[in-house]
Amino acid sequence: MNSVGLLLSGWAVRWPALALVLCLAAVTPGAQAHKASDAYLGIGEVAAPAQQDATVALRLSLALKDLDAALPTLDADGDRRLTWGEVRRARPQIVRWVEAGLTLRCARTAVLPAWAFEALEQRSDGAYLRLAARLPCEPQAAIAVDYRLMQDVDPTHRLLLQSELDGQLGGQRIAAVLAPNGRSAIELPRHAEPAMARIDEPASGEPAVMAGPAAPAAAGGGIATLANFFFEGIHHILSGYDHLAFLLALLLPISLARRVREAGVTARRGGLGQLLFTITGFTVGHSVTLALATLGWITASPAWVEPAIAITIGVSAALNLYPVRGLRTDVLAAGFGLVHGLGFAAVMTEAGVSGPLLAWALAGFNLGVEAGQLMVVAAWCAVHLLLLRWSHYPAVVVRGGSFALLLLAVYWTIPRLMG
């Protein structure tokens, strides 16, 4: 009776709320809101390393909420509002914690990579801190990862290990899940021929581990590189919302109808000709700077390229609303294309390609961008032809769309300028 009495006296204050937790959590979809704690490790081959033995690139993303639980001093002033200053000052401490809990081996020899802060990033469940490192491994040497971070803090924590998009490891795509309290280790062979990743220590837990052959990357040399970067280019333009917005700003005023000239609507050249000239202009513009920047003949800082890209969208949209006589769209597209090319080049620079494969990569990427662009143009043409006969088309689609793009460009420009 006594223990029940104690329990019930507890109920008077806390239990009803907790009784709710207990009774309803079972039936609460909200309790199953999102996902448990994850960290992400990207691992990829450095295509042409500056030093012969730094052949593997690593990127580790850790949730700040998890770091807070593991490192009680992260929130230095204890106000539970984590500022950039607090994170910045704790970086050395975070790196030491990572070094203690993440063990890496090249060909069975322990190596200690120099982790450096790379960026903060927003994911679907909160803010993350990203560290990057180069792993001093001989080419072809197998890599072993043993992950014990968060072991005491959260037994359901997982590390999601993935090969980076552009630098598959030893020609294979890897996706594995490591559990600090269970299968915490994995060995990744780096043969040119596809092989299965091997898992050590099947202790407990039930992490899913998959590793298998990917596109024939390493073997084919130039052609394989071209193919890889071709898809990278398509992906980049289709997921690069600012390039799409710019393209849309260029396309909006063009009318494929024989004779649609309404007051207040800019039909500068009109028809298919204008479409071809404008798209060609953009292509020539961005291809030139993409090539120059990738080959290292010119350099540009993202600090001005990123806001400049946003400004090109705004200017193009504004010109749709308030046309300037005598200004040729194709010339404008080519000029602004120069800026966008510098943005594309950042992808190539990040991929770290150099040496004999660079020309293949550049060609593949550029062709991919053009292919993606053609898809967008085709999609726009289809929508355009469908809506063309609608009497409100010029007002809603052309002017309304341009206005929306202008707002969007302003919205993008300001933080980019501040950042």
Site for other proteins in 71-90 (CB under 8 A): 72, 75, 78, 80-85, 87-88
The least CB distance from residue 326 to other proteins, in Å, is: 28
Number of alpha carbons in the 13 Å side-chain half-sphere of residue 194: 10
Q: Nearer to other proteins by C-beta: 127 or 203?
A: 127
Q: Which one among 43, 133, 177, 251 touches other proteins, defined by CB under 8 A? A: 177
Q: How far is the CB of 405 from other proteins (least distance, A)?
A: 7
Q: Which is nearer to other proteins, 80 or 259 (CB)?
A: 80
Q: Contact 377/247 with Cβ under 8 angstroms? A: yes
> Could you give the string, one character per residue 156-175, with x where binding to other proteins holds by CB under 8 A and - elsewhere?
xxx-x--------------x
Q: Considering beta carbons, is residue 324 or 396 the nearer one to other proteins?
A: 396
Q: Reading across the β-sheet that carries 102-106, which strands appear in turn?
A: 109-111, 102-106, 143-147, 185-188, 198-199
The dihedral through the CA atoms of 52, 53, 56, 60 has a sign that is: negative
Residue 256 and residue 273: Cα distance in Å, rounded?
Answer: 9
d(CA 258, CA 316): 24
Which string of b and e fits 84-111 if b means at least 16 CB within 10 Å? eebbeebeeebbebbeebbbbbbeeeeb
Q: How far apart are CA 267 and CA 314, in angstroms?
A: 19
Nearer to other proteins, 87 or 342 (CB): 87
For other proteins, the closer CB: 11 or 327: 11
* Between 15 and 304, CB nearer to other proteins: 15
Count how many residues are written for the chain. Answer: 419
Residue 394 in tokens: 């010029």
Residue 166 or 362 with smaller CB distance to other proteins: 166
Number of residues that bind other proteins (CB under 8 A): 96
- Other C-beta atoms within 10 Å of 26: how many? 8
Interacting residues with other proteins between 105 and 134 (CB under 8 A):
119-128
Nearer to other proteins, 31 or 327 (CB): 31
User: Is residue 381 exposed (0-12), middle (13-18) or buried (19+ Cβ within 10 Å)?
Assistant: middle
Q: Which pairing describes strands 38-45 and 158-163: parallel, antiparallel, or unpaired?
A: parallel
Report in angstroms how near the CB of residue 128 gets to other proteins at its nearest: 7
153 touches other proteins (CB under 8 A): yes
Question: Is residue 386 near other proteins by the rule CB under 8 A?
Answer: no
Q: Which is nearer to other proteins, 342 or 362 (CB)?
A: 342
Identify residues 271-330 at the interface with other proteins (CB under 8 A): none
Check residue 203 for interaction with other proteins (CB under 8 A). Answer: no
Binding other proteins (rule: CB under 8 A), the pick from 251, 345, 358, 408 is: 408
Measured distance CA(142)–CA(298) in Å, rounded: 37
Q: Which of residues 15-44 bind other proteins (CB under 8 A)?
A: 15-38
Cα 380 → chain centroid: 25
- Residue 18: CB atoms within 10 A of its CB come to 13
Within positions 234 to 253, which residues make up the interface with other proteins, using CB under 8 A?
238-241, 244-245, 248
Interface residue with other proteins among 93, 140, 155, 298 (CB under 8 A) is 155
Closest CA to 341 of 286, 281, 292: 286
Give the C-alpha separation, 175 to 163, whole Å.
7
Q: Does 202 bind other proteins (CB under 8 A)?
A: no
Minimum distance between the CB of residue 312 and other proteins, rounded to whole angstroms? 14
CB of 120 to other proteins, least distance (A): 4
